[in-house]
Amino acid sequence: MRIGAPRELHDGEARVSMTPASARDLRKLGHACLIEAGAGLA
């Protein structure tokens, strides 16, 4: 399964729904993790 984490579009919002640790855990379970470019830069 592919699991995606989009970047937040609202002004002042900098949170991302997937952390590096959660992405690692999901990959261990056989899932593909996709994180949108620019996510978390704010």
Q: What is the H or E stretch that residue 23 is in?
A: helix 20-28
pLDDT of residue 33: 95
Q: Among 30, 31, 29, 22, which residue's Cα sits nearest to residue 3?
A: 31
- The dihedral region occupied by 38, where left means phi > 0, alpha psi between -120 and 50, and beta the remainder, is left
Is 12 within the bounds of a domain? yes
pLDDT of residue 8: 86
Is 17 within the bounds of a domain? yes
Is 31 within the bounds of a domain? yes
Is 42 within the bounds of a domain? no
pLDDT of residue 42: 75
Strand partners, 3: 33
Q: How many domains does the chain have?
A: 1
Is 40 within the bounds of a domain? no
Is 41 within the bounds of a domain? no
pLDDT in tens, 1-42: 999 999 888 888 888 889 899 999 999 999 999 999 988 887
Q: Are 23 and 35 in contact (CB under 8 A)?
A: yes
- Domain holding 21, by residue range, is 2-35
